[in-house]
Amino acid sequence: MVLKLPPLPFAKNALEPYMSARTVEIHYERHHRAYIDTTKSLIQGTPLQMHSLEDIILATAKDSSKTQIFNAAAQAWNHAFFWRSIMPRGGGKPVGEVLQAIDKCFGGYDRFRQEFKSACLRQFGSGWVWLAADGDMLEVLGTPNAVNPLSQGLITLLACDVWEHAYYLDFQDRRAEFVDTFIDHLVNWDYVKMQWRAAAGQFV
C-alpha cells in the first residue's frame, strides 16, 4: 500500500472567514504532508510499508521501539480525520441521531459544548480533543501529541487540532476563540453522523 497525502475535502479558501486559506495551506501542505512523507521514510523496507495507516498505528501504539513511526503515522491519520471533521458553513447544533446521542450521553448540547471547549482549553501543550464512541456511549477525550482514540480502542467521531499550527496565524494565542469558532462555524456534523452510524452498527 502506497501512502499518499489525501486531497482536502474543500478548497483552501472555503473555510474563510473562520479559517484562512493561508492557515489551511500551511497546515495541509507543510504539516500534514510532512507526516505522510516521514511515515513513508520510516517504514520503507519494513513489513509495515504494505499496511494502511490504521494498521501501522495499531501495530506501533504500544511498542516503545516504534514510537517514532507511531507519532508520524498517527499524526498523518489525525490530520486526515481533522480535515473531514470540518466544512464550510458547518458548526452549530447537530440534529437527528447525533443530537439524540449527545443528549443521552452529556445531558444536552450545551453541556457537550462546554465539556468539549473545556477539554480543548485544558489540553496542555500540543495535542488533540476528540468526540469518541465507546460502545454506545460518547465521550470527550483529550490526548497529547499524536495519541488518538484509534490507538485506545475507541471509535473516532470528531477531531479538533489544538496544536498551535492549527490556529496561530488566525488567532495567535487565543485558543478559546479558535475553539468557539471551530464548534460554532466549522464542525462537520454530517461526517460525525456517518461515523456514528458506523459505530452504532457495531452494537445494535
193 and 103 part of one domain:
yes
112 and 164 part of one domain:
yes
- Structural domain for 74, as ranges: 21-85
69 and 121 part of one domain:
no
77 and 122 part of one domain:
no
User: Per the domain annotation, does 79 fall within a domain?
Assistant: yes
User: Per the domain annotation, does 5 fall within a domain?
Assistant: no
CA 56 to chain centre: 17
123 and 75 part of one domain:
no
Rounded-to-5 percentages of helix, strand, coil across the chain? 55, 10, 30
* pLDDT value of position 199: 79
147 and 117 part of one domain:
yes
* pLDDT value of position 203: 45
**CB neighbour class for 10 (10 Å; exposed up to 12, middle 13-18, buried from 19):** middle
CATH number of the domain within which 71 lies: 1.10.287.990
User: Per the domain annotation, does 11 fall within a domain?
Assistant: no
Model confidence, pTM:
0.95
133 and 81 part of one domain:
no
106 and 184 part of one domain:
yes
User: Per the domain annotation, does 41 fall within a domain?
Assistant: yes
Note the pLDDT tens digit of each residue in 22-34. Answer: 999 999 999 999 9
Question: What is the spatial distance between Cα 57 and Cα 50, in angstroms, rounded to a whole number?
Answer: 13
Question: What is the spatial distance between Cα 80 and Cα 83, in angstroms, rounded to a whole number?
Answer: 5
156 and 194 part of one domain:
yes
Handedness of CA 87, 92, 96, 99 (dihedral sign): positive
* pLDDT value of position 1: 63
**187 in Cβ contact with 85 (< 8 Å):** yes
How many distinct structural domains can be found in the chain? 2
**Residue ranges for the chain with pLDDT beneath 50:** 203-204
